[in-house]
Amino acid sequence: MLTPNDMIVMRKEVGLSKERAANLFGINLQTLMLWESGKSNPPAYALEELKYFYDDLKSNPLPQRTKKDEGIFFAQVRREAGYTQTEVCELLPLGITTLSGWERGAVLMPTYAKRLLLRFYSENSK
């Protein structure tokens, strides 16, 4: 079980500010601050994902890509897997506006969403 101090140490080990970590993990800054202060406990699945997230960043530092580069990449992967945006949004808990924003590079895609989509596309190609 991760303690609040463990979360802080892991975040600092990969060189992320609170703001950047919250953004990449897909949560708001206040939530991360509450978790790291021990004033709120993250759900068990979030603790597991957070540990995986930081461990993954240790061995695979974030590449320096733009939002647009990432959006183009994920749109291409989706098309290669044989899905439309609408189909993906019907199968996963995503709104069409969110997915469209990610793929256009208008909005930064959180790391957890990248893993979710890549896992989905690799396991469910048409």
Q: DSSP per residue over the chain, as a string? A: ---HHHHHHHHHHTT--HHHHHHHHTS-HHHHHHHHHTSSPPPHHHHHHHHHHHHHHHHSPPP---HHHHHHHHHHHHHHHT--HHHHHHHTT--HHHHHHHHHTSSPPPHHHHHHHHHHHHH---
pLDDT at 99: 92
Average pLDDT rounded to a whole number, residues 57-72: 74
CATH of 67-123, one of 1.10.150, 1.10.287, 1.10.3470, 1.10.260: 1.10.260
- The stretch 59-70 carries a mean pLDDT of 71
Query: Mean pLDDT across the stretch 62-78?
Result: 79
What backbone torsions phi and psi does residue 80 show, to the nearest 5 degrees? -65, -30
Residue 64: pLDDT band (50, 70, 90) is: low
Q: Tell me, what's the pLDDT at 65?
A: 62
Lowest mean pLDDT among 10-14, 19-23, 58-62, 84-88: 58-62
What's the token pair of residue 31?
């939530």
- Is the overall model pTM greater than 0.95, yes or no? no
The reply to whether 67-123 shares the fold of 4-59 is yes
30 pLDDT tier (thresholds 50, 70, 90) = very high
For the domain made up of 4-59, give the CATH fold.
434 Repressor (Amino-terminal Domain) (1.10.260)
